[in-house]
């Protein structure tokens, strides 16, 4: 009889414990700046239970929503030491079951971690297309879409281990930070490789590896003095997200009711003449039908996203975020989200994707923007992406004949508007990324045009970002072949690849020419503070030749980009202000001495980076 009672007791306990299907965040840390934590318990009718906790834990609030499968429990965390604490669930005063919750010890100096900045060069990776380090996880029984490398828009098998295996390649190239497109679980039926339609934001997609693998990636990078930047998505989740399938509240996502697509007109965020309808369809409309739009004006949603972001910073020891579709969010909500993270980590960095084509409109989204101040708005976002410079780069080197508004003057005019930004050193500058045509496609595989583009990106103000494969001449045509073509597999990342561009011996002659130039300039930049934080002095382009200087109190670098098809002779007296009395310098690429006492000759469609002596 006693055995039956014991068996019944064990079965009842297991049944009750199983009622809690998820706890998020799954654990937390002691000694955080944020002095309260909202823990979400999820399970069938969990809201029907009353909750108490260990005597050390102060429960400030228990929130129940219209969905009885959720309980949101807010606790005071100030002075709560590391350890495990019990949450007790009961009905009618009878304790039914308990769930322990762990507070871990933080890493020493975690709060003061330094994020990426202009001393870094960021390497953007599409993990599914970079390298397949573990073929055993190419497909997963738990995930719908299986690997099919023959499908341009399918999963190809790249993973976290593939990135780890080639960290030395990236470091040798001269990059100091890696921005990987999202690695969290995405269980869409198709096109899940891009992972922007996430189905679980506390879990690495098993086809990429595990949470532990991601933590290992951060550790391996830090051992090489490199920084890890996570691509974070605040605007939307995927339709397969487990919470979307069982919403905590009706307004967890934007509903019209149901689905309506965004009009993508981000200018409605600050247009004083906008219609409310246009604004709503921009901010509340879904990015696409498979990506439900999250409602950051709902405090539960905002807090969930904030805690999730902080959890990943602590867990994986991150050095920064790149935030997808930043300007589509509820702008007050995203400003609070950003401030909460920067308050927790004052030296952290976050760059937001603000894909606009006007400097004042991009500036609006940067912290302390003089443009945002006009409407008393501050996003708290430290860094934004310089899309107007990108716009110029994608056309100028095909514009051989300069005019009032064509050729190198486009670059000059871009920098004219730097006064609109609060922090010009904290702009991400790039020639291409995972959403744009490959720069080497735009320039039809012309190495000299690539060199001019990279010279600009790697020597101007801001934080340079390279897209994986550009450094070996990879091409891709989005307009004709879709996203898959600009996200091709890196040659050598898969066992059996005929061409292994990760090694000098495995690169073709053309690939090596691209790679050698990129490596030379990147590694030069790595140790040049003047290229990180020096001032920019530019001169009006003449004959499609653009000259600028980076300088500080200790060093000067002269950059010349001749976008003319013909060689040009520059009268150097015009640039006396930049030369500052220097009559010689060293060509960074060739190592040869350059006489700057009279005139300077530069061949057509070429660039020079000259360290002044």
Is 201 in a helix, a strand, or coil? Answer: strand
Handedness of CA 82, 84, 90, 93 (dihedral sign): negative
Helices vs strands, H then E, count in the chain? 18, 26
Handedness of CA 111, 116, 120, 122 (dihedral sign): positive
The first and second tokens of residue 272, run together, are 């004083």
How is the chain split among helix, strand and coil, in percent rounded to 5?
Answer: 35, 25, 45
- Relative to beta strand 28-29, strand 94-104 is parallel
CA 66 from centre of chain: 35
Residues 6 or more apart in contact with residue 311 via CB below 8 angstroms: 25, 28, 202
DSSP 431: S
Q: How far apart are CA 59 and CA 37, in angstroms?
A: 10
Q: How far apart are CA 528 and CA 524, in angstroms?
A: 7
Residues forming the active site: 324, 353
Q: How far apart are CA 70 and CA 41, in angstroms?
A: 6
Taking a C-beta distance cutoff of 8 angstroms, is the pair 238, 293 a contact? no
Report the run of H or E that residue 308 belongs to, with start and end: helix 299-316
Is 403 in a helix, a strand, or coil? Answer: strand
Taking a C-beta distance cutoff of 8 angstroms, is the pair 610, 572 a contact? no
Residue 440's φ and ψ, nearest 5 degrees, are -80, -15
Report the run of H or E that residue 97 belongs to, with start and end: strand 94-104
Handedness of CA 480, 477, 207, 350 (dihedral sign): negative
The first and second tokens of residue 398, run together, are 């095909």
């Amino acid at each position: 009889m006693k055995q039956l009672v014991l068996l019944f007791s064990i079965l009842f306990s297991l049944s009750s414990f199983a009622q809690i299907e998820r706890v998020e965040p799954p654990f937390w840390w002691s000694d955080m700046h944020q002095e309260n934590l909202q823990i979400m318990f999820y399970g069938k009718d969990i809201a029907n239970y009353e909750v108490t906790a260990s005597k050390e834990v102060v429960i400030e609030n228990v929130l129940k929503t219209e969905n009885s499968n959720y309980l949101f429990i807010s606790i005071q965390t100030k002075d709560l030491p590391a350890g495990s604490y019990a949450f007790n669930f009961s009905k009618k005063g009878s304790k039914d079951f308990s769930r322990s919750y762990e507070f871990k010890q933080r890493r020493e100096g975690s709060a003061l971690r330094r994020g990426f900045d202009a001393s870094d060069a960021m390497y953007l990776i599409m993990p599914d297309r970079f390298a397949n380090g573990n073929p055993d996880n190419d497909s997963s029984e738990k995930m719908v879409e299986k690997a099919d490398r023959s499908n341009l828009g399918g999963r190809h098998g790249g993973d976290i281990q593939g990135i780890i295996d080639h960290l030395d390649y990236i470091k040798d190239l001269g990059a100091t930070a890696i921005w990987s497109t999202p690695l969290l679980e995405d269980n869409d039926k198709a096109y899940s490789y891009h992972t922007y339609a996430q189905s679980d934001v506390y879990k690495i997609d098993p086809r990429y590896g595990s949470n532990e693998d991601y933590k290992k990636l951060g550790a391996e990078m830090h051992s090489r003095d490199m920084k890890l930047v996570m691509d974070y998505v605040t605007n939307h989740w995927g339709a397969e997200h487990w919470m979307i399938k069982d919403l905590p509240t009706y307004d967890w996502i934007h509903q019209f009711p149901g689905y309506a697509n965004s009009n993508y007109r981000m200018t409605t965020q600050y247009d004083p003449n906008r219609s409310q309808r246009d604004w709503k369809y921009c901010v509340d409309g879904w990015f696409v039908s498979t990506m439900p739009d999250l409602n950051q004006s709902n405090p539960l949603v905002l807090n969930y996203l904030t805690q999730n972001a902080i959890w990943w910073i602590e867990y994986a020891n991150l050095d920064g975020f790149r935030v997808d579709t930043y300007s589509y969010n509820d702008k007050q909500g995203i400003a609070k989200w950003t401030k909460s993270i920067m308050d927790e980590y004052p030296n952290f960095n976050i760059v937001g994707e603000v894909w606009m084509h006007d400097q004042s409109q991009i500036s609006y989204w940067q912290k302390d923007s003089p443009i945002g101040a006009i409407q008393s708005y501050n996003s708290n976002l430290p860094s934004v992406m310089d899309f107007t410079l990108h716009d110029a780069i994608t056309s100028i080197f095909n514009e051989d004949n300069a005019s009032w508004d064509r050729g190198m003057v486009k670059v000059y005019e871009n920098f004219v508007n730097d006064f609109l930004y609060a922090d010009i050193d904290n702009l991400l500058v790039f020639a291409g990324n995972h959403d744009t045509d490959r720069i080497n496609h735009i320039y039809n595989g012309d190495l000299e045009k690539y060199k001019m583009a990279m010279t600009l990106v790697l020597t101007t103000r801001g934080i340079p970002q390279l897209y994986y494969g550009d450094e070996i001449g990879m091409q891709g045509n989005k307009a004709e072949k879709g996203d898959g073509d600009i996200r091709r597999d890196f040659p050598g990342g898969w066992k059996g690849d005929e061409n292994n561009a990760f090694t000098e011996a495995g690169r073709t002659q053309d690939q090596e020419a691209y790679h050698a130039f990129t490596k030379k300039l990147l590694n030069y930049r790595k140790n040049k503070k003047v290229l990180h934080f020096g001032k920019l002095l530019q001169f009006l382009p003449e004959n499609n030749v653009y000259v600028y200087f980076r300088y500080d109190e200790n060093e000067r670098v002269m950059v010349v980009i001749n976008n003319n098809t013909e060689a040009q002779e520059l009268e150097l007296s015009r640039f006396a202000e930049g030369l500052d009395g220097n009559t010689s310098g060293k060509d960074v690429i060739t190592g040869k001495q350059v006489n700057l006492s009279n005139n300077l000759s530069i061949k057509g469609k070429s660039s020079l980076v000259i360290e002044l002596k």
